[in-house]
Amino acid sequence: MTKKKAFPLRINEQVLAAIQRWADDDLRSVNAQIEYVLRDALVKSGRVKLVQKVVTEIEEKDGDSRAN
């Protein structure tokens, strides 16, 4: 797990409220939403490369015939 550094952030109340609504919609904390938005912007601008994607795979139990 990567280390995280605490960073105080001054932010406009309206921007914070919009981030809170977005975070609620995505079932994230405000902190996680801000980090997601920043990381996405960095990748899209070419400033960092996406080096790892998290993929969740569902394995079938023995005798479980559900199709994915």
Q: How distant, in Å, are the alpha carbons of 55, 62, 65 from that of 51?
A: 13, 34, 34
Give dist(CA 57, CA 23) in Å, integer.
24
Nearest to 16 by CA among 30, 6, 27, 2: 30
Token pair for 46:
């070419």
How confident is the model at residue 3, as a pLDDT? Answer: 84
What sign for the dihedral angle of Cα 58, 43, 3, 5? negative
| Domain regions of the chain by residue span | 11-60
How confident is the model at residue 54, as a pLDDT? Answer: 60
Note down pLDDT in tens along the chain; length 68 residues: 668 899 999 999 999 999 999 999 999 999 999 999 998 898 888 888 777 666 556 567 776 555 54
How confident is the model at residue 50, as a pLDDT? Answer: 73
Indicate the DSSP class of residue 47. Answer: S
